[in-house]
A and B are shown apart, each in its own frame.
Chain A
Amino acid sequence: MYIPHTEKERDEMLRVIGIDQIADLFEDLPASHKFPSLNLPDRLTEMETLAELQSLSWMNESSQDLICFLGAGAYQHFIPSAVDSILRRGEFYTAYTPYQPEVSQGTLQAIFDYQSLITALTGMDVSNASHYDGATSTAEAVSMAIAHFRNKRSKVVVSPSLHPHYRETIRTYNHGGILEIVGDEDDADLLRGPESLYSHIDQKTALVIVQYPDFFGHVFDYTKLAEITHQAGSLLAIAVNPLALGLLKTPGDFGADIVTGEGQPLGIPLSFGGPYLGIFATRKEYIRKMAGRLVGETLDNRGQRAYVLTLTAREQHIRRERATSNICSNQALMVLASTIYMSLLGKHGLRQVSELCYHKAHYAAEKINSLKEFHLWSETPFFNEFVIKCPHPVDEINEYLLDYGVLGGYNLGNHYHKLNQHMLIAVTEMNTKDEIDSLVDLLAEVSND
Chain B
Amino acid sequence: MTEPLLCELSISGRRGVQYPKPDVPVSKIPDTLIREALPMPELSEIDVVRHFTRLSQLNHCIDTGFYPLGSCTMKYNPKINEETARLPGFALTHPFQPIETIQGNLELMYHLQEWLKEIGGFAGVTLQPAAGAHGELTGVLIVRAYHEDRGESKRIKILIPDSAHGTNPATSAMSGMLVKELPSDERGNIDLIALRAECDETLAGLMLTNPNTLGLFDENVSEVIDMVHKAGGLVYGDGANMNALLGIIRPGDIGIDILHYNLHKTFSTPHGGGGPGSGPVGVAAHLVNFLPDPVVIIEEEADDEKPAFYGFARPAKSIGRVKAFHGHYLVMVRAYTYMLMQGASGLRKISEYAVLNANYLLARLRNVYHVPYDRICMHEFVAEGCWDNAPDIHALDIAKRLMDYKFHPPTNYFPLIVHEALMIEPTETESKQVLDLFADTMIKIAQEAHSNPEMLKTAPHHTPVGRLDEVKAAKDLVLCCGVSSI
Contact = CB atoms under 8 A, between A and B. Distances in A.
A100 B456 CA distance: 16
A329 B25 CA distance: 45
Given A270-B92, A275-B276, A40 B102 contact: no
Contacts of A301: 458, 466-469
B55 A106 contact: yes
Contacts of A52: 340
| Interface residue tally on B, bucketed by range | 35 or more
Interface string A270-305: 111111100000001001000001111111111011
Interface string A316-360: 111111110111111111101001101111111111110110111
A96 B86 CA distance: 22
Interface in A6-58: 9-10, 12-14, 16-18, 22, 24-30, 33-46, 48-50, 52-54, 56-58
Nearest to A101: B468
Contact of B141 (A35, A133, A174, A330): A174
B441 to A, nearest CB: 15
Interface in A150-188: 163, 165-166, 168-169, 171-178
B344 A41 contact: yes
Q: DSSP class of B's interface residues: helix, strand, loop or mixed?
A: loop
A249 B91 CA distance: 32
Contacts of B319: 172
Interface in B45-70: 45, 48-49, 51-53, 55-64, 67, 69
A106 B429 contact: no
Given A253-B35, A304-B465, A136 B323 contact: yes
Contacts of A410: 96
B41 A346 contact: yes
A333 B121 contact: no
B277 to A, nearest CB: 5
29 contacts: A26-B355, A44-B340, A60-B101, A63-B92, A70-B96, A74-B95, A94-B271, A102-B400, A119-B480, A135-B324, A168-B320, A171-B320, A245-B35, A247-B29, A269-B92, A271-B91, A272-B326, A273-B326, A273-B329, A274-B329, A296-B474, A300-B466, A320-B166, A327-B131, A327-B134, A347-B41, A363-B25, A381-B30, A433-B24
Contact of B16 (A16, A35, A274, A344): A344
A16 B364 contact: yes
A393 B87 CA distance: 33
B131 A26 contact: no
A310 B462 CA distance: 24
A387 interface: no
A132 B130 contact: yes
Interface in B8-33: 10, 14-20, 22-27, 29-30, 32-33
Given A95-B59, A272-B326, 15 more contacts: A2-B429, A53-B333, A53-B337, A96-B74, A109-B55, A113-B6, A173-B137, A246-B38, A287-B479, A293-B274, A306-B465, A336-B272, A343-B16, A346-B42, A432-B23
Given A26-B355, A326-B170, A363 B27 contact: yes
Contacts of B49: 82, 85-86
B76 interface: yes
Contacts of B328: 274-275
A435 to B, nearest CB: 10
B474 to A, nearest CB: 5
Which of A132, A333, A398 has the most C-beta atoms of chain B within 10 angstroms of its own C-beta? A132
Contact of A30 (B121, B221, B329, B483): B221
Interface string A371-411: 00000000001000000000000000011001000010010
A57 B274 contact: no
Contacts of A316: 133, 166-167, 169-171
Contacts of A96: 60, 67, 69, 72, 74, 271, 273-274, 408
Contacts of A86: 49, 52-53, 56
B90 A272 contact: yes
B387 interface: no
Nearest to B114: A40
Contact of A295 (B25, B86, B341, B479): B479
A275 B5 contact: no
A319 B167 CA distance: 10
A57 to B, nearest CB: 3
Nearest to A245: B35
Contacts of A60: 89-90, 93, 101-105
Nearest to A68: B94
B152 interface: no
A92 B82 CA distance: 13
A74 B176 contact: no
A407 B97 contact: yes
Nearest to A172: B320
A306 B45 contact: no
Contacts, number: 669
B385 to A, nearest CB: 14
B390 interface: no
B166 A95 contact: no
Given A95-B273, A106-B55, A28 B133 contact: no
Contacts of A199: none
A170 to B, nearest CB: 10
A88 interface: yes
B19 A336 contact: no
Contacts of A42: 343-345
Interface stretch (B231-239, B298-306, B346-354): B346-354
B248 interface: yes
Contact of A321 (B45, B179, B477): B179
Interface string B296-327: 00000000000000000000000111111111
A193 interface: no
A231 interface: no
Contact of B463 (A88, A102, A294): A102
Contacts of A4: 429-431
A184 B75 CA distance: 46
Contacts of A276: 324-325
A134 interface: yes
A121 B481 CA distance: 13
Which of A10, A50, A82, A95 has the most C-beta atoms of chain B within 10 angstroms of its own C-beta? A95
Contact of B482 (A14, A116, A126, A129): A116
Nearest to A294: B479
B61 A95 contact: yes
A192 interface: no
Contact of B27 (A39, A119, A321, A358): A358
Nearest to A318: B166
A172 B248 contact: no
B468 A300 contact: yes
B353 A82 contact: no
B174 interface: yes
Interface in A426-445: 429, 432-433, 436
B342 interface: yes
A105 B58 contact: yes
B59 A92 contact: yes
A310 B429 CA distance: 32
